[in-house]
Amino acid sequence: MKLLGHRGAAGSAPENTLLAFAKGLEYGVDGFEFDVQLSRDGEVVICHDERVDRTSNGIGWIKDFTLQELKRLDFGRWFAKLPVYQAIPTLREVLEMLTDLTIELNVEIKSGLVQYPGLGEKVVRLLADYGRLDNAIISSFDHQLLLDLKQACPPVITGILYDCAPIKPWAYAKYLNAQYLHPAWEFVTPELVTASAAWGIGINAWTVNSSFAAQKVSLARVARIITDYPQYFRTGEHGEMIYQE
């Protein structure tokens, strides 16, 4: 089972900042999950919310800021545990930071509240430019976007995000030509993992932030665990993942 830092390592540093990625590396993660949006001038930036209000000292929609304007905001100081200035990272900056490291990426494309024309294609192009296409999972709650991306670029690896208990989600994933299902941890069962594996679909669970959740997904033997707290995980003697604060 692999361990991915959620939004970098959101439990220990301001989420989706270079500091959060540095923390994750310090904790020895196998990879990172992070969220992408598009600035007004078409730059792929890393931020969970469509607006900057919660995680910066600014107000407004990311789509209305140029990259230069976004870079003037502080995405660090809102996070009480580590009050330091942090700029919003671009996807390119994160790819630069991780060059030469065999770290997996799970790029979550945000699409819903705001729909960004061409965001998926830009992400794929950047991943390809940095030789990361075969080591990255592109996930989204917008499944049409994932299907379109897969059709436009078949080597792309996709993960279907969901937060409910669908019937036969593995058949749905197959229908979308996806490689992974990304359920919220509450909906992970051993049957889901086994039945999905029989259809060639892997399971990556989020956001696993307690020993109860860790036990549930670990017993089910998911492929990847996405967590805000990678520092609390260790591998047990039977390959299980144990969470201990």
Positions in the binding site for ligand G3P (CB under 6 A) = 6, 33, 35, 48, 108, 139, 161, 182, 206-207, 226
Q: What does the block give as tokens for 214?
A: 């860790």
Compute the least distance from the CB of residue 203 to ligand G3P, in Å. 13
Task: Report d(CA 129, CA 191) in Å as an integer.
Answer: 38
Pick 54 or 168: Cβ nearer Mg ion: 54
Among 15, 35, 43, 228, binds Mg ion (CB under 5 A): 35
Candidates 127, 96, 93, 68; CA nearest to 17 is: 93
Q: Which residues 6+ apart lie within 8 Å of 154 measured at CB?
A: none
- Closer residue to ligand G3P, CB minimum distance, 6 or 72: 6
Chain residue whose CB lies nearest ligand G3P? 206
Select which of 48, 143, 182, 238 is catalytic.
Answer: 48
**Does 143 qualify as catalytic in the annotation?**
no
Q: Which two tokens stand for residue 93?
A: 């900056």
Binding flag, residue 43, Mg ion (CB under 5 A) = no
Would you give the binding string for Mg ion spanning residues 90-109, x where CB under 5 A is met? Answer: ------------------x-
Window contacting Mg ion (CB under 5 A); options: 11-19, 29-37, 174-182, 194-202: 29-37
Note whether 44 and 62 are within 8 A (CB). no
Residue 206: name its binding partner from ligand G3P, Mg ion, none (Cβ under 5 to 8 Å by kind): ligand G3P
| 48 assigned to active site | yes
Long-range contacts of range 46-53, CB-CB < 8 Å, 24 or more positions apart? Answer: 46/16, 46/17, 46/88, 46/89, 46/90, 46/91, 46/94, 47/16, 47/75, 47/88, 48/7, 48/15, 48/16, 48/110, 50/110, 50/113, 50/114, 52/88
What lies within 8 Å, CB to CB, of 26 at 6+ separation is: none
Q: Among residues 181 and 198, whose Cβ is nearest to ligand G3P?
A: 181
Residue with tokens 């989020």: 206
User: Is position 15 an interface residue for Mg ion (rule: CB under 5 A)?
Assistant: no
**Smallest separation (angstroms) from Mg ion to the CB of 108:** 4
For Mg ion, the closer CB: 134 or 163: 163
Tokens of 32: 């990172």
Closer to ligand G3P at the Cβ: 69 or 172? 172
Q: List residues near Mg ion by CB under 5 A.
A: 35, 108
User: Active-site positions?
Assistant: 6, 48
